[in-house]
């Protein structure tokens, strides 16, 4: 990536790569015509996604503040959708993370970090500091030298749920029959089977599904119908906790056939479908790094990682709220947003020649996109990238 390209906010299209075959790998194939098959996987606990966090630029004071905010978000996490009266004081705070990138007029000194606080409604720094100190016991907020940056996101929603394609690449519409539509992130595998990877709330209907449910491409909101558009069957997911306990991932797998999918991702460029590959080697997200994604709604976009240790409260609708910790946050490059409703499940990857996957997009608000760290996702589901 040239310096001039980064400075202007433009970005280069990834190299167009020819589709390759599935080499000599032999996979067990699902029977997508059988609605009564017996399966051997089940939902996993989100606690299984907990692993040692990667290094970040946060100071001990910022880490302590994040722990205090996380504790408060967990206490409020099971209370359901906020009323208007709640969107004041602590109810206005829906997340936080260490940031090391300029946001608007806010500049963080090079090599240093600030406490970025995500809020439902816009607030000034003084009011936010007072709320953090009085309502969330963040003592450091009373010290003017402690860096605090308010970031308005609105209520952070799980991204809401357009063409049919076979074999299906990553980046296209997919979904459980009882949701609207999300995005097929990429392919993953274990020793025996090939899977599509996306979010729990896209493939497993936010825990409200059963093993063996058929999955559609495109998703129902984009015309997908069962049985005509079956692409996979639900095999495994990590259960989302809505009681206030910590979540680390929103992810699920659909068992599929190599005949129905392809390893590339897709984007639309000058009216044509272009296919490209990303690396099989996952990486940890890095603050300041340019990343990309291809998703069902906003297609190919670029953005910069602004935090790698965010804790957020996410609204899944129907009174269900989940607290997610150790999440990556991305701000769109230039004036274009990084994601929109329907992009949930998109694979996030470093925008460089290696294109190493770093995250699984699952939520957003106010121009900020949030993703699970891909290493956590892979460990929780016990699979490897097949990209």
Q: At 39, list the tokens.
A: 């399966």
Beta strands in 135-181 (DSSP E): 148-152, 157-158, 168-170, 173-174
CA atoms of 161 and 343, how far apart (whole Å): 8
CB 101 within 8 A of CB 111: no
pLDDT, tens digit (0-9, with 9 covering 90-100), for 176-216: 999 989 999 999 999 999 999 999 999 999 999 999 999 99
pLDDT of amino acid 243: 95
Neighbours of 125 (CB within 10 A): 15
pLDDT of amino acid 6: 39
Mean pLDDT of 71-86: 54
pLDDT, tens digit (0-9, with 9 covering 90-100), for 123-137: 899 999 999 999 898
pLDDT, tens digit (0-9, with 9 covering 90-100), for 310-365: 999 999 988 999 999 999 999 998 888 999 989 999 999 999 999 999 999 999 99
Mean pLDDT of 94-105: 74
pLDDT over 70 percentage in the chain: 80
Query: Who contacts 128 (Cβ-Cβ below 8 Å, separation ≥6)?
Result: 93, 117, 119, 141, 148, 150
Neighbours of 157 (CB within 10 A): 16
pLDDT, tens digit (0-9, with 9 covering 90-100), for 241-281: 999 999 999 999 999 999 999 999 998 877 788 899 999 99
Among all chains, which residue has been given the structure tokens 């997508």?
32
Q: At 201, list the tokens.
A: 């709330």
pLDDT of amino acid 232: 98
CA atoms of 316 and 127, how far apart (whole Å): 28
Q: Is the pLDDT of residue 157 over 70?
A: no
Largest CA distance in the chain: 64
Neighbours of 117 (CB within 10 A): 30
Neighbours of 44 (CB within 10 A): 18
For the chain, the average pLDDT equals 85
pLDDT bracket for residue 81 (50, 70, 90)? very low
Among all chains, which residue has been given the structure tokens 């997200």?
285
CA atoms of 45 and 42, how far apart (whole Å): 10
Q: At 356, list the tokens.
A: 């190493």
Domain regions of the chain by residue span = 38-387
pLDDT of amino acid 54: 53
Secondary structure percentages of the chain, helix, strand, coil, to 5: 15, 35, 50
Q: Is 133 exposed, middle or buried (0-12, 13-18, 19+ CB in 10 A)?
A: middle
pLDDT, tens digit (0-9, with 9 covering 90-100), for 305-314: 999 999 999 9
Among all chains, which residue has been given the structure tokens 């907020």?
141
CA atoms of 330 and 82, how far apart (whole Å): 24
């Amino acid at each position: 990536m040239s310096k001039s390209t980064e400075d202007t906010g433009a970005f280069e299209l990834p190299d167009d790569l020819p589709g390759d075959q599935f080499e000599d790998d032999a996979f067990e194939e699902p029977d997508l015509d059988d609605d009564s098959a017996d399966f051997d996987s089940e939902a996993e606990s989100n606690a299984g996604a907990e692993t040692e966090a990667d290094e970040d630029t946060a100071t001990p004071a910022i880490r302590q503040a994040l722990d205090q905010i996380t504790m408060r978000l967990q206490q409020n996490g099971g209370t359901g959708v906020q009323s208007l009266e709640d969107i004041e004081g602590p109810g206005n705070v829906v997340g936080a993370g260490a940031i090391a990138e300029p946001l608007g007029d806010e500049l963080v000194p090079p090599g240093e970090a600030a406490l970025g606080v995500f809020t439902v409604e816009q607030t000034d720094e003084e009011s936010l500091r007072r709320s953090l100190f009085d309502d969330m016991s963040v003592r450091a907020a009373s010290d003017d030298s402690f860096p605090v940056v308010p970031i308005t996101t609105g209520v952070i929603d799980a991204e809401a749920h357009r063409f049919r394609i076979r074999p299906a690449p990553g980046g296209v519409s997919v979904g459980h029959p009882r949701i609207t539509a999300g995005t097929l992130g990429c392919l993953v595998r274990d020793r025996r089977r090939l899977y599509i990877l996306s979010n729990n709330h896209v493939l497993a209907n936010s825990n409200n599904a059963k093993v063996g449910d058929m999955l559609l491409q495109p998703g129902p909101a984009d015309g997908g119908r069962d049985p005509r558009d079956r692409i996979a069957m639900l095999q495994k997911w990590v259960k989302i906790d809505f009681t206030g306990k910590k979540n680390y991932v929103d992810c699920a797998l659909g068992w599929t056939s190599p005949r129905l999918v392809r390893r590339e991702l897709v984007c639309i460029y000058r009216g044509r479908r272009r296919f490209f590959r990303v690396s099989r080697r996952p990486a940890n997200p890095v603050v300041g790094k340019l990343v990309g994604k291809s998703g069902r709604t906003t297609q190919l976009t670029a953005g910069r990682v602004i935090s790698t240790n965010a804790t957020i409260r996410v609204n899944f609708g129907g009174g269900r709220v989940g607290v997610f910790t150790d999440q990556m946050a991305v701000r769109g490059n230039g004036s274009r947003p990084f994601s929109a409703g329907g992009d949930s499940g998109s694979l996030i990857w470093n925008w460089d020649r290696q294109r190493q996957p770093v995250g699984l997009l699952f939520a957003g608000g106010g121009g900020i996109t949030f993703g699970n760290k891909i290493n956590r996702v892979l460990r929780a589901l016990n699979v490897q990238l097949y990209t």
